[in-house]
Structure 1
Amino acid sequence: MAEYSQQNLKQFNIQLKPHPRARDQVVAATDFVEGSIVFAQHALAVALLPSEKGRRCDACSRLSVSQSLRRCSGCAEYFYCDEHCQRYHWQKNHKRLCKPYASYSTTALGNLPEHARMDGILLSHLLAQITPDDLIEDSSPVQTLLSLLPGPQEENPAPHICYTPPFVPTGLVQSLFIRFQNNNFAMHSHLSTFGHGVFPLASRLFNHSCVPNAAARYILKAREPVKMEVVALRPISGGEEICITYLDPALLQTRQQICKLSYGFECRCSSCHFLNRISKSRLPDDADADFAELDAALRDLSGVEDGSITRLRTSIFQDSIPLHLYGAFKESYISALSKRFTDAAHDGPYDVARQAGAALLAFYLMVYPDNYPQIGMHLLELAKVVWNDIVRNGDDRDKLRMARNYATASRGVLSIFGAEGDEGGPLGELTLLEDLLWNS
């Protein structure tokens, strides 16, 4: 591994060790408590999704809510919070991209699918900021990026690039691109993706698990590239491998295919072992499933509908999961359940939203690890549903108790993942909701 990586591991109390199946594994050099930052790294390069262009600053990726962004007068394609962000981005890479970018975006990228456009833009951003030293110094992030394993589809040609420095040797663009395919990160704010980023050292360190003990969050500050922080979701003991997830663990039937096609490996975590053990023949067909009965069984399992639990712990794929709940492990059932909750959550019927939401919570507790942020977000939505029901249909002590317990459980999860992304967000919403619930 590059010297750059070895020097930076010590400050985070993590170590890189051999792995029996993967290339390496990063392990804790000391005990970490839940909520600890076990690793942090600024992005080497970022690119916003097309849907976020003009809404977010191209330099720091922050969302603009109070004022209009400044448009680059040269290319008219990039937007900035203020002159400081614009000046920072100009020096970083935009001065090499500004003049050719308008033509590049309409001709070279015009007919490409979104993922190919994103690769081309992100790779263009990276190349525009490379220096000759990056290509010869072992400690450079670019060398760390080049040390990563190529993607499983490495024969794919690189997309057209907006700008390539004259000192970049033939073949380097392709070498970088084949490492983009399975090493870039989807950056998110409040669990909504806003762009893609290159974090070479994070890619080098963290293996995947569908039951991770850590999760990546993204910190946005003015005149800085996006910063990734990897947070411990539960206590991690010294010597234990630290894993994150590369995909949504709720993708039950498709995640193994994604792992093989996108990343070139077969996941063998405890969650995948459980799913493999449940043969497809044991999962009911949609036409035969009694969803009402399954919904009720899941609500009973969640244990929060009666307002009795204030801090949740998950039990991931244990042998104690009863056979009559196996029908929940189908993406088609969960998609229908999630749609039922979403459709009724804002304007009702609130009893439908509460029941579907409680069943969905039980599913999340079976597939997500302790303190996974999606659990906290869903608990917040459940608390809001019950509060809206109270506001619309009148005060009810049982409902108020239920809403308070959902909010308390949400606070327990989200406070561990911590603040991330744009200002406000779920923790801000939760503070406002708590004020309403405890002053009613």
Structure 2
Amino acid sequence: MKYSFTIVSLCAALAAQVHSAQAATPAELQLVQDLLAAGEPTKAFGLLQAAHDPATASTQEFFLLGVAAKQAGQLGKAERYLGSALQREPNAGRIRLELAEVLFRLGKYDKSRAELVAVLGMNPPEQVRQNIDGFIAQVDVARTNPNAGPKGPQKNWSAYVTVGLTSDSNVNAGPDSDTVFLYGLPFTLSSGAQETQDTAVFARAGFSHQKILNNNLAWRSGAHLSFNNYFEANAYDTTTLSVSTGPSFRLSDQLGLSVPVTYNIQRYNEQDNWYSQSWGIAPRLQYAARNDLQFYVDTSISRKRFNGNADRDLTAFTINPSVNLQLKENGSIAVGLQYGSESSGLDVYSNDVRGMYVGYQHVFREQGIRASLKASYTDTEFEGVQAAYTQARHDVSKRITATVSYTLPNMNSTSVLGSLSYENNKSNLDINNFERTLLSLSLTKKF
């Protein structure tokens, strides 16, 4: 069975950090890290073990010995060294994750699972949590089928493929009335402008990669491609590509910062060329106040360009502070605020957005089920006045989304996801009043 995650990426994403060494010199530790990064674990292990004195060794030295031994295939020694590091620093999630992998590869599945559950109790970032859940699923499979244990070297990349079907009650976000007022007079909308129901098939694929540069710095990259095809409303068929890359810093035991550069391109498939492109940066600051309490500040600034409509090009800015609280081992609640603005060459597209959301997620580990419920509220004010109206557009949107995913037994890293979303948009311009319900079912395979 191959890993659907990378232990290295889990470790680098955690706020918990192994303390700086005291017994070994910084130069010695840096040399060992460079050797590990260069794929020479045996040399790194030999170098560090030759000068190792358990009485004076730091937590960092024990940790590096454990990592080097693991990568060199000396799992018994890796278990002992990592165990010694963990005794000194029991709240270090990074050490527990490395030890969990070693225990798994040694066939000590119960102990491996216990370490993973302990890290979940520290409320790691959501992506790390998802990867740990995938690891726990592998452990549970291996407990019943010992031959399903991990094989091959660990990976510093992950990938996924998703296919699915969506029922969309309002593809074009058409108004909930067939008659609207334009220039103060009632007009009956054409069938193409009225609320349109359709079904679509979609496919998504993506990958992520991480390069650990040192204990406090990693470089993360990712790319995601999505394709959406409606059965009848072909004008809304789209292809979208998103790419990001940039450094992630561990600023302290509790504070982390990532600064990816982002690029996005979208195409409506009936058109001959791309529709829009955007590029920018999306810094994220994460603070672990406690093991069960995380604070985030997500920001972004980007420049968006529209093909054949340069007057509409815009600059967008967002800031989203949020908090995640783990209520118990299997449940967590998240609350966030949103502020954003778009400044366009055309005033009718310039706007300010304010909003908030609250969500709850619960994991039924024994059953392989994850369920979540999220409600959001946004208030959008536009600057310019559209033709046929005397006032600027002002929308208030409410949305609620429920999702349930199920990990298929005996099918490594494969899950089924069902999602139901309802949106109600109220506007001072009746042409922008609409309701929309989306129901989707998809199958995802992770690698």
With structure 1 as the length reference, what TM-score do the two structures score? 0.25
Larger relative CO (CA 8 A, sep 6+): 1 or 2? 1
**Structure 1 or 2: larger strand share?**
2
With structure 2 as the length reference, what TM-score do the two structures score? 0.24
Q: From the CA coordinates, give the structure whose radius of gyration is larger.
A: 2
**Structure 1 or 2: larger helix share?**
1
